[in-house]
Amino acid sequence: MARILRNQSFPIFDFPPNPPNHSHKTILVPPAAATMEEPMLPPGVAGGGTMVNVLCCMCGVSIAPNPSNTCASCLASKADVTRGISTEATLHQCRGCQRWHKDAGKWLGCELESRELMSLCLSKVSGLSGRNASGDKVRVVDAGWVWTEPHSMRLKVRLTVQKEVQAGTILQQSFVVVFVVRNQQCIECQAEFRQGSWKSLVQVRQRVNHKRTFLYLEQLILKHGAHRGCLSIETFRDGMDFYFPDKGKAARFISFLENVVPIKTKVSKKLISTDDKSNVSNYKYTNYVEICPLCKDDLLYLPSKTARNLGNISRLVMVKNISNVIQLIDPLSGQTAAMSPEVFWRDPLRPVITAARSRLTRYIVLGKEAVALERNVSKKGTSKRNRNKLAAVILAKEEDLGINDVQYEERSHLGYLMRSGDVNEGYDLKELQFVDDDAEEDRSAGKLPDVVVVRKLYGGVATNEADAAKKRIFRLQRLDVDVAESMRSRSAKKDQEMEDMDEEDFLREVEADKEMRVNMNLYKSELLAKKEEGEGEGGDGNGANGSDNNAKSNIDNDEEDDDDQQVKLDELLDGLVLSDGPDKPMADAGGVAKTDEFGMQYYEEGEKATKDGINYAGRDEARQMESKDAAKPVNVFGKEFMNKEFKFL
């Protein structure tokens, strides 16, 4: 018990020595406080009272009285704001799809240093939401990423929290939370590695003897990402099979096919298992998708009724392009028409000549003249754009040069592209045999042209260079597919040769059609990338041979050349070249994302965090950073970093 010593000046509180090692302390208080008869008043209040101060029990500094009789500095040195908050946690990431596990089988796609990943990390830290183990509420006022080794399988986050340890005393403390990244397959990736795990199969077929249409379809799928969610892809000679884990993803893929090619579908299902008690059945669905057998540059001879319904177009037409409709063009007048898939499947047509390499003949352009068309009110008018493209072209077979003087003069919708000396491919209707009887009669009567120009050749292909394919300035990306067992036979070598020939024919189509290239991604070839690198380093950029000059001549715009179909540099994307050598020093990008060969964006270290407004500690700062700082007092609470659902405010 305390003894109250009274004297004439002030009372004295005499406390016993507790603990024993403390010295005897005497606190002087005003007389009014000793009697506890008059209430204390703040300074400046009428009555003349003053605030009572006590000495800190640890350092002896005069402070305002509080429940612990300890100053804020001593309280910060003793208290631990992070008590009850975990400093280690575990994150699970799927190596197949690079997604992060959230909860209850949910997987999120988050980039490193992103806001979404920060929200996921904070949700894994116990003690942040609500109240911690001591029953006090903890407020997160800041969070930032800390640099870690790229292959350490660790993520570090520096958190700054605040907590009110007693009335009016707020402490703030920073510490580092380490997240260990573990590999775990998601449900979709698990199904991909299991046999018979697919639920819906899409069989895409086209009954033709080439794969040029599937090569074009493959580029459309890659550009739009329509194959996402597909477990595996298997290729056949006449088509491809796409395996999906559920029926919805297969239906979405079929909807994509309907928008890019004319198709008809047929659906069937097979019962796998059933539960009579719960009335639940397990089915596997098979979707058969057939693409129309018409391909780009095929020559058609339309029935009279169909030609009249299509704007009274000529019966001899050529397939200009294949999309969700079949686009036709008259090669002699430039008149165009569109045939819907419903009209085609109601009365299917077979081409009289297929655009195969064996059916095409090479011609040399000797000259051309402009053509003036007469207006025919019974026909659909030719657009001014197509009318200006018509020209009468004088041609000669490449194989006849120096042997005979046979020349052909025909009108062509590609006449505006031709110049003397150019090489093109076309159909020789005089030597080809027609299957259609009406077409054979019209040819015998002289109603059909002798030559139909199909496309113009560019680069080394036009000059018959042996390595023309290697000198092409662009390349295409391919799908990762599995080859069917039926194609792994004795004739596999022959099939591979046919596929290489189909791919070369497809690349020639891409070179000569700008509208076709709009729907696909073209990447710079390694030859062109190396040449640009040599020019950037101050070299002459001539390359190992003279092929670069040919590539340059195809790129440069000549004022006298009105060719708008050749490949330009602005159409090509920067691809990944594995032989680039060591990495070049990069300037500060200012948070601007780069793009890799697959069109995916990526950031340098710290750029993504800076873009999202999150602090980032670099390598040098991270090595000098302590795992936990000492708590320090603050006057007011800071603004919360995230709300209760761990979303950014």
pLDDT at 487: 66
> Within this chain, do residues 286 and 354 fall inside the same structural domain, yes or no?
no
Shared domain for 378 and 282, answered yes or no, is no
Q: What share of the chain is helix, strand, coil (3-state, %, to 5)?
A: 25, 25, 50
Mean pLDDT (the chain) is: 78
Summarised one tens digit per residue, pLDDT across range 388-419 is: 578 899 999 988 888 888 899 999 988 888 88
Say if 420 falls within a structural domain: yes
For residues 354 and 452, membership in a common domain is answered with: yes
State the Cα–Cα distance between residues 433 and 425, nearest whole angstrom: 18
Boundary residue ending a domain (456, 488, 517) = 456
Q: What are the helix and strand counts (H, E) for the chain?
A: 17, 33
Q: Is the pLDDT of residue 386 over 60?
A: no
Q: Could you report the per-residue pLDDT of 487-516, keeping only the tens digit for each?
A: 666 566 777 788 888 888 888 888 888 888
Model pLDDT for residues 584-642, shown as the tens digit of each residue: 444 443 445 555 544 455 567 888 888 888 889 988 888 888 888 877 777 777 777 76
Residue 264 domain flag: yes
Considering only residues 3 and 568, tell me which one the structure prediction assigns the higher pLDDT.
Answer: 568
Instruction: Let me know whether 356 and 449 are in one domain.
Output: yes
Phi and psi torsions of 366, nearest 5°: -100, -25
Q: Give residue 339's pLDDT.
A: 93
pLDDT band at 133 (very low <50, low <70, confident <90, very high): low
Separation CA 391–CA 57 (nearest Å)? 104
Lowest-pLDDT choice from 43-52, 290-299, 384-393, 570-579: 43-52
Give the residue, 230 or 576, on which the prediction is more confident. 230
Higher per-residue confidence, 598 vs 455: 455
Q: Say yes or no to pLDDT of 84 above 60.
A: yes
Strand-pairing partners, residue 17, are none
| In-domain check, residue 583 | no
pLDDT of residue 55: 85
Residue 510 in domain: no
| Percentage of the chain modeled with pLDDT above 90 | 24
Q: What one-letter code names the amino acid at 38?
A: E
pLDDT band at 562 (very low <50, low <70, confident <90, very high): low
Q: Which two tokens stand for residue 60?
A: 């002896």
Q: Report the 3 state secondary structure along 308-342.
A: HHCCCCCCEEEEEEECCCEEEECCCCCCEEEECHH
Choose the final residue of a domain: 439, 456, 473: 456
Mean pLDDT on 335-352: 91
**If 0-12 CB within 10 Å is exposed, 13-18 middle and 19+ buried, where does residue 623 land?**
exposed
Task: Provide the pLDDT for residue 374.
Answer: 62
The pLDDT of residue 202 is above 90: yes
For residues 445 and 377, state if they share a domain.
yes
Give the pLDDT of residue 607: 83
Looking at the domain assignment, is residue 631 inside a domain? no
Q: Of 71-85, 89-103, 422-436, 549-563, where does mean pLDDT reach its minimum?
A: 549-563
Q: What's residue 287's pLDDT?
A: 96
Q: Please give the backbone phi and psi of residue 162, each rounded to the nearest 5 degrees, phi first.
A: -130, 145
pLDDT at 591: 47
Q: What is the pLDDT of residue 582?
A: 45
Does 538 score more than 60 pLDDT?
no
Highest averaged pLDDT of the listed ranges 44-53, 129-138, 230-239: 230-239
Which whole-number Å values give the CA distances from 546 to 272, 550, 553, in the listed order?
63, 7, 11
Residue 607: Cβ within 10 Å count: 19
Q: Which amino acid is at 206?
A: Q
Residue 164 lies in a domain: no
| Domain presence at residue 242 | yes
Last residue of a domain, one of 402, 428, 456: 456
Write down the pLDDT at residue 132: 53
SS3 of 104-169: CCCEECCCCCCHHHHHHHHHHCCCCCCECCCCCECEEEEEEEECCCCCCCEEEEEEEEEEEEECCE
Domain count, the chain: 2
pLDDT at 559 over 50: no
Q: How far apart are CA 508 and CA 472, in angstroms?
A: 10
Least confident of 183-187, 275-279, 369-373, 628-632: 369-373
Residue 399 lies in a domain: yes
pLDDT digits (tens, 9 = 90+) for 268-318: 999 988 988 888 898 999 999 999 999 999 999 999 999 999 989 999 999
Instruction: Please report the pLDDT score of residue 261 as a whole number.
Output: 93
Tell me if 561 sits within 8 A of 262, measured CB to CB. Answer: no
pLDDT at 382: 53
Beta carbons of 314 and 307 less than 8 angstroms apart = yes
Q: Which pLDDT belongs to residue 301?
A: 92
| Residue 236: both structure tokens together | 């056949």
Residue that wins the pLDDT comparison between 588 and 176: 176
Domain with 358, as residue range(s), is 328-334+350-456
pLDDT digits (tens, 9 = 90+) for 70-83: 787 787 777 778 88
Least confidently predicted of 33-47, 167-181, 266-280: 33-47
